[in-house]
Amino acid sequence: MRSTPHILVINGTKVRRPVFLLGSPHSGADVLARAVKRSAGFHLTAGRPSVLRLVYAYARRPSIATGSGVGAARVLRDAYAEAWQITPGGCLACSGECRALAGLPPAPPRAAAGPPAAPGRPAEEPCVEPRGVERFADATPDLLYSADVLLDAFPDAQLVQVIRDGRDVVAEMLADDGCLGWFRPGLSNLDEVFPNPFLGVEDLGERRRWPDAALAVKCALRWRGSVRLSARLRAQTPEDQLFTVRFEDLAASPGRVARDVSEYLGTPLSPGVLAGLVRPGEPADPSAPERRVGIWRDRLTPRQVAQVERVAGNELGRLGYRLGD
């Protein structure tokens, strides 16, 4: 049973129907997050420390959330009460990814004045004007693993999840030291948590082979686990609280996706923002990960493709991705 509604007020605005962006690592959820963050009326955060600590605690040890009942939801709600505050200098404490979503440069060192965060606006000013905020949102990485807690904390929440071809996801994960870091022996917690939704290890055979498994296999397990979790979430969440976007549709028809998401949220998103962030060809931002469909063809070896399809072939097929294509 979901918890009863709780009134949360941020900068004088009641938090109603908060929006949470979900997906596997490199699913493309950050692309939608940029569009939401740059749309009028929204205040979106990503990776604020108070939230990030809880997200990874719940993701890596699900028993922390399930064993504490409503306590986990209360703690997460309190974390958002802090993270969503709009204060002078608040953006300077934001993660690099959150600032990037807003189109801001990295925060200058605290000891230095630094350049303006945006033309005509001092770095210490927030990225959004509090008086214009009507909706709150968050796109913290790996938020997918806290979806149940989010719905307990905010019973009227709207979730948007992004699904992407697992082979493209693996190709980007293999180039991301942050993603690969979770596989290090000191961080891989299979001895304490099994089955392990975060690592995607579900049976004894996978657990036994894990230490010697290739990185492509480990990445494929993480993607497979995330899409299985997404499927379970779809089955147990009312339709008006969960909307699924396919990354490939973002690349092919950003205007249509913007309209569909806008209709779901009840708040307009700018189709021009999405069109500028995702292109079927070259990436819009040279410093960002490649936003192309089918990058696995160029970046995965035949052996890695076979490994990914062997681990996650059923899920790829179920989602409509052709194997060996």
- The pLDDT profile of the chain, 325 residues, written as one tens digit per residue, is 455 556 799 988 899 999 999 999 999 999 899 999 989 899 999 999 999 999 999 999 999 988 766 799 999 999 999 999 988 777 776 777 777 777 776 666 544 434 444 444 455 677 788 788 999 999 999 999 999 999 999 999 999 999 999 999 999 999 999 999 999 998 999 999 999 999 999 999 999 999 999 999 999 999 999 999 999 999 999 999 999 999 999 888 888 999 999 999 999 887 677 766 555 444 444 444 456 889 999 999 999 999 999 999 999 999 999 997 6
* C-alpha 122 chain-centroid distance: 29
Compute the distance between CA of residue 295 and CA of residue 219 in angstroms, rounded to an integer: 15
> Which token pair is 148?
């149940």
Question: Can you list the domains of the chain with their CATH numbers?
Answer: 9-86+128-318 (3.40.50.300)
Buried b (16+ CB within 10 A) or exposed e, 196-213: bbbbbbbeeebbeebeeb
Adjacency order of strands within the sheet including 158-163: 42-45, 135-138, 19-23, 158-163, 242-246
- Model pTM? 0.89
